[in-house]
């Protein structure tokens, strides 16, 4: 299992592949970021139980409410009693278990969404948010030197988690799949997404952990921002 360390936290990558999921530990306080798809439930909970031991999973932060990030959210809340945090603009989506698909950012992904996507169902088990976030939310209450910031563009309620001002977990604000590109294949508003890149650069984090693919350096993100801004 891959891990990263900041001044006060350990970050575990508890899911990888189709969708990433991360667990943050600060002095035996734990927060889960995203949950993957239903077929990853056993792997997710096995890893969580190994790490948590007798400790509590305080909360689940959903970077956004697309199906591949939230399909296990309701079951996480039932099993661990975790507080669920979403952005206010997407709280109704998870409440009803149905989030709209993002737009494609190129011809191929546009075709996938407009033709294939409309024929498929992406509903998931619904659950209520316990805390809804606007532009910023401080996580000191949960025992973390961390905060949530609004980083829209991929979806209107996309959020990132800034940990010790060193590492950011960014959901689908960027992808770590395509070598020297971080540009996502799907985004509702690419212009706003690129503005969110600038916001993330200004956090001075040196590493960015995306919802898909590998970690992204600050240098690569800055190069991509200059290219696409």
For the stretch 152-196, pLDDT in tens is: 999 999 999 999 999 999 999 999 998 899 999 989 999 999 999
Residue count of the chain, please give it.
Answer: 229
CA 21/CA 200 separation, integer angstroms: 19
Closest CA to 197 of 215, 214, 220: 220
Superfamily of domain 3-228: Ribonuclease Z/Hydroxyacylglutathione hydrolase-like (3.60.15.10)
CB atoms near residue 82 (< 10 Å):
20
Residue 73 predicted with pLDDT over 90: yes
- Cα-flanking dihedrals φ and ψ of residue 65, to 5°? -110, 25
Question: What does the mean pLDDT of the chain come to?
Answer: 94
SS3 159: strand
Model confidence at 49, pLDDT cuts 50, 70, 90, reads very high
Q: In this predicted structure, what is the pLDDT of residue 107?
A: 80
* Strand runs labelled E in the chain: 3-5, 10-15, 21-26, 29-33, 57-61, 83-87, 131-133, 136-138, 146-150, 159-163, 167-171, 207-210, 216-217
Tell me, what's the pLDDT at 104? 80
pTM of the model: 0.95
Q: What is the pLDDT of residues 137-152, one digit of tens each?
A: 999 999 999 999 999 9
Residue 86 has pLDDT above 80, yes or no: yes
- pLDDT surpassing 70 at residue 76: yes
Average pLDDT for 207-219: 97
Residue 209: pLDDT over 90:
yes
Strand partners of residue 15: 21
Q: Is the pLDDT score of 118 beyond 80?
A: no
How confident is residue 103, by pLDDT bands cut at 50, 70 and 90? confident
Report the C-alpha gap between 217 and 213 in whole angstroms.
Answer: 13
Is there a contact between 48 and 34 (Cβ–Cβ < 8 Å)? no
What is the rounded distance in angstroms from the CA atom of residue 24 to the CA atom of residue 147? Answer: 12
Round to whole Å and give the CA distance between 106 and 104.
Answer: 6
Task: Flag whether pLDDT at 51 surpasses 70.
Answer: yes
What's the pLDDT at 119?
56
Q: 210, 154 in Cβ contact below 8 A? A: no
113 three-class SS: helix
Domain ranges of the chain: 3-228
Residue 116 binned pLDDT confidence (cut-offs 50, 70, 90): low
């Amino acid at each position: 299992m891959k891990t990263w360390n900041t001044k006060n936290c350990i970050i575990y990558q508890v899911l990888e592949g189709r969708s990433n999921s991360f667990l943050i530990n600060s002095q035996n306080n734990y927060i889960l970021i995203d949950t993957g798809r239903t077929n990853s439930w056993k792997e997710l909970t096995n890893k969580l139980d190994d790490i948590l031991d007798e400790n509590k999973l305080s909360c689940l932060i959903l970077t956004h409410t697309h199906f591949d990030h939230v399909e296990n959210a309701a079951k996480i809340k039932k099993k661990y009693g975790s507080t669920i945090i979403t952005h206010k603009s997407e709280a109704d989506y998870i409440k009803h278990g149905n989030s709209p698909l993002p737009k494609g950012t190129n011809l191929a992904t546009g075709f996938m969404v407009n033709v294939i996507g409309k024929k498929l169902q992406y509903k998931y088990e619904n659950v209520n948010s316990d805390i809804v976030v606007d532009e910023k939310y401080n996580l000191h209450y949960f025992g973390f030197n961390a905060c949530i910031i609004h980083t829209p563009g991929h979806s209107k309620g996309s959020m990132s988690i800034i940990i010790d001002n060193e590492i950011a977990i960014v959901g689908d604000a960027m992808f770590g799949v395509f070598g020297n590109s971080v540009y996502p294949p799907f985004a509702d508003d690419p212009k706003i997404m690129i503005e969110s890149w600038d916001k993330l650069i200004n956090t001075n984090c040196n590493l960015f952990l995306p919802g898909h693919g590998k970690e992204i350096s600050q240098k690569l993100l800055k190069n991509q921002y200059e290219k696409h801004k």
